Amino acid sequence: MRETKASVISRKLRRSCAVAIGLLAGVTLATSPRAAEDPANQVAPPNTSVYRNIAGRDLRVFEFPPADIAGSARPAILLVQGGAWSRGSPEQLFRSARYFSEKGFVSAVVEYRLADATSSPVESFSDVCYSLAFLRKNAGRLGLAPSRVALWGISSSGQLVASAATVGCDSAEGSSGNGGPDALLLVSPVVDAVSDGLFRDLMKGHGKPSSLSPTHTLTRSIAPTLIMQGNADHTTPIERSKVFCERARGLGSRCELIVLEGQGHVLDRPTRDEVLDRQVRFLREMWQ
């Protein structure tokens, strides 16, 4: 059936709204409880390393070591910004990364290729895996424990980091033996990517959406997972996260879903602070 002009305009408007919401979601946790009031440029810049060069472009990882890291192998958190797969920047998560480093974690934020005319979430996923391997390869320099590296994702980047656990990163590294993370910290994540219209559009010509959909590639036990999501989230409905956790638990995985009452896809300020605190407690319970 041929689309009317009105339906085409409506579809384009829905897609534009989805991109805007995804970008805003990528910003929602960019501040920490203590650093949120500070001007963005009033803090020291992170250490920067190139973890991959591809098509002449250097991709960077921004490192935030804790002050007392010397002589210890700390748990680590690698943060991946959201933004509807095609927007956003690593700087959005610098303050959250600093918060985790203040709590004693080695934290880092990855720069990855965004979906555009030539790239898709397939390339973004590849970069996340490369950056995870880079941290483990440099564990000695960074002072981190290579079998205690958590991946952190929000909204669209939740799909990328969860896929690193379910699909794996094509190596035997990590406690799961598939190159993926040793823990997952997800906020309002896209776990059923097949049901996401924007993701399906971005994957056209690059592969089947189901091949990188965490729910559809969940076939074995995965790393301990914490999902925090509002029950009023209409962008990534919480019912999809419930299905993901139920399947993960059925395969012997630890998967906790914390419902944020009354919260939508974009969390309010007190809830953002609560999320960061709860994520720290989750990792400490496992890795103390």
Tens of pLDDT along the chain (288 residues) come to: 444 444 444 444 445 444 444 444 444 454 433 333 333 434 568 999 999 999 999 999 999 988 775 557 999 999 999 999 999 999 999 989 999 999 999 999 999 999 999 999 999 999 999 999 999 999 999 999 999 999 999 999 999 999 999 999 999 999 999 999 999 999 999 999 999 999 999 999 999 999 999 999 999 999 999 999 999 999 999 999 999 999 999 999 999 999 999 999 999 989 999 999 999 999 999 997
Cα dist. 48→20, 45, 60, 80, 231 in Å?
28, 9, 7, 15, 37
One-letter amino acid at 4 equals T
Phi, psi of 152 (to 5 degrees): -120, 130
Residue 100 CA to residue 159 CA, distance in Å, equals 22
| Rounded Cα–Cα distance for residues 125 and 214 (Å) | 12
CA torsion through residues 219, 225, 230, 231, sign: positive
User: Torsions phi, psi of 36, nearest 5?
Assistant: -60, -30
> How far apart are the C-alpha atoms of 101 and 87, rounded to whole Å?
25
Compute the distance between CA of residue 195 and CA of residue 90 in angstroms, rounded to an integer.
27
Residue 45 DSSP label: P
Residue 43: CA count within 13 A, CB half-sphere: 20
pTM: 0.87
Rounded Cα distance, 196 and 204, in Å: 13
**Strand, coil or helix: 129:** helix
Q: Which two tokens stand for residue 60?
A: 């960077």
Contacts of 135 (CB under 8 A, 6+ apart): 61, 76, 78, 108, 142, 144, 146, 149
Maximum distance among all Cα pairs of the chain, rounded to whole angstroms = 66
Convert 246-277 to b/e letters by CB count within 10 Å (16 or more is b): ebbeeeebbbebeebeebbbbbeeebbbbbbe
Go through the domains of the chain in sequence order and give each one's CATH number: 47-287 (3.40.50.1820)
